[in-house]
A and B are shown apart, each in its own frame.
Chain A
Amino acid sequence: MPKLNDQVVQPSAKEKLYLLSLRHVLGIREVRALLVFLLMTAFFAYLTGGKFVSVSSVTNMLRYVSAYGVMAGGVTLLLISGEIDISTGSVFPLTAIIAALLVKNIPGFSIWLAAPVAIAIAGLCGLVNGVVTVKGGIPSFITTIGTMLIYRALGYILSGGVWLSGMPPSRFYTIMGGKVLGLIPVGIFWFVGVILCLWVLLEKTAFGNRTFATGNNKEAARMTGINTDRVKITNFIITACLAGFAGILYFSHFGSILPIEGMGAPLDTIGAAVVGGTSLFGGAGGVIGTLVGVFIIAGARIGFVLARLGGYWANILVGSLIIVAVIVNLWLERRVR
Chain B
Amino acid sequence: MLMGGPSHLSVLRPILVIREVRALLTLLLIVVFFAFFTGGKYLSVINLVSILNGVYAFGIVAGAMTLLLISGEIDLSVGSVYALSPVIAAILVKRVPGFTIWSAVPLAIGIAAFCGFTNGIITTKGRIPSFITTLGMMMILRGVAFVLSKGQIFGFLPPSVLYTIFGGTVFKWIPVGVIWFPAIIVCLWILLEKTAFGNRTFATGNNKEAARMAGINTDRVKIINFTITGALAGFAGITVLSYLGQAAPQQGMELAFDAIAAAVVGGTSLFGGAGGVIGTLLGAFIVGGVKNGIIIRGAPIFWPEAFVGVIIILAVVLNVWIERKMA
Contacts and interface: CB of A to CB of B under 8 A. Distances in A.
Given A142-B313, A149-B309, A156-B301, A323 B143 contact: no
B128 A146 contact: no
A267 B135 contact: yes
Interface size class for chain B? 35 or more
Nearest to A152: B302
Contact of B302 (A156, A313, A323, A330): A156
Interface size class for chain A? 35 or more
A149 B128 contact: no
Contact of B143 (A270, A316, A322): A316
B306 A280 contact: no
A315 B143 contact: yes
Given A156-B302, A327-B128, A315 B313 contact: no
A312 interface: yes
Contacts of B302: 149, 152-153, 156
B83 to A, nearest CB: 12
Contact of B127 (A136, A139, A330): A330
Contact of B147 (A145, A161, A316, A320): A316
B137 interface: yes
A213 to B, nearest CB: 21
A78 to B, nearest CB: 15
A327 B300 CA distance: 41
Give the interface centre of B135, B138, B151, B317 by most chain A CB atoms within 10 Å.
B135
B257 A138 contact: no
A141 interface: yes
Given A150-B310, A316-B143, A139 B270 contact: yes
Contacts, number: 118
B170 interface: no
A141 B139 CA distance: 17
Contacts of B129: 280-281
Contact of B146 (A149, A161, A310, A320): A310
Interface in A112-154: 132, 136-139, 141-143, 145-150, 152-154
Given A157-B303, A267-B139, A145 B146 contact: no
B-side interface mostly: helix
Given A312-B142, A323-B133, A148 B309 contact: yes
Contact of B140 (A152, A157, A315): A315
Given A138-B317, A267-B135, A323-B132, A316 B140 contact: yes
Contacts of A319: 135-140, 143
Interface string B287-317: 0000000000000111101101110110011
B317 A161 contact: no
Interface in B107-130: 122, 126-129
A292 interface: no
Given A132-B313, A319-B138, A319-B139, A153 B132 contact: no
Given A161-B300, A312-B142, A330-B127, A149 B132 contact: no
A145 B143 contact: no
B296 to A, nearest CB: 17
B183 interface: no
Contacts of B309: 145-150, 153
A137 B147 contact: no
A326 interface: yes
Nearest to A135: B317
B131 to A, nearest CB: 6
B134 to A, nearest CB: 10
B155 to A, nearest CB: 20
A149 B257 contact: yes
A323 B320 CA distance: 30
Given A157-B300, A280-B132, A315-B140, A310 B147 contact: yes
A156 to B, nearest CB: 5
Given A138-B316, A161-B301, A319-B139, A153 B306 contact: yes
A141 B246 CA distance: 33
Given A149-B306, A310-B151, 5 more contacts: A136-B313, A139-B270, A146-B312, A281-B129, A322-B136
20 contacts: A132-B313, A136-B313, A142-B312, A146-B309, A146-B313, A149-B309, A150-B306, A312-B142, A312-B146, A312-B147, A316-B140, A316-B143, A316-B144, A319-B135, A320-B140, A323-B126, A323-B132, A323-B136, A327-B122, A330-B128
- A-B pairs, top 8 by smallest CB distance, nearest first, are A153-B306, A149-B309, A319-B139, A315-B143, A146-B309, A319-B140, A316-B143, A312-B146
